[in-house]
Amino acid sequence: MELDMERIVMEMVVSSGDARSKALEAVQTARRGDFAAAKQLLMDCEKALAKAHEVQTDMIVKELNGEGQVVKLLMVHAQDHLMNALTVKDLSEQIIGILEEMKP
């Protein structure tokens, strides 16, 4: 059971990392002036975040149903990755909006 939980938590870490990378790539793409591609990258970011959030939600539901796990450092690490990815996505959206407004 513990190995299964580690696999699930690592899925959350990987999905969150993918989301963060897509958000930062979107900003770089917008800086080059390709706003359509930047918006597509943000949509890809959202998909990765949805996957990570789904894992998180499933774990929360299990805990509410009395099937909770002992919180380990790996889970804290996964939560940190998810929150970081959400913050980077929000800031990336704002930066891309500013870049688009400044476009000549």
Q: Which of 44, 77, 84, 93 is catalytic?
A: 77
Interatomic CA distance for residues 24 and 77, integer angstroms: 20
Q: Tell me how far apart the alpha carbons of residues 79 and 77 are, in angstroms, rounded to a whole number.
A: 5
Q: Which of 100, 12, 20, 2 is nearest to 56 (CA)?
A: 12
Q: How many Cβ atoms from other residues are within 10 Å of residue 78's Cβ?
A: 24
DSSP state of 65: T
77 catalytically annotated = yes
Positions marked catalytic: 77
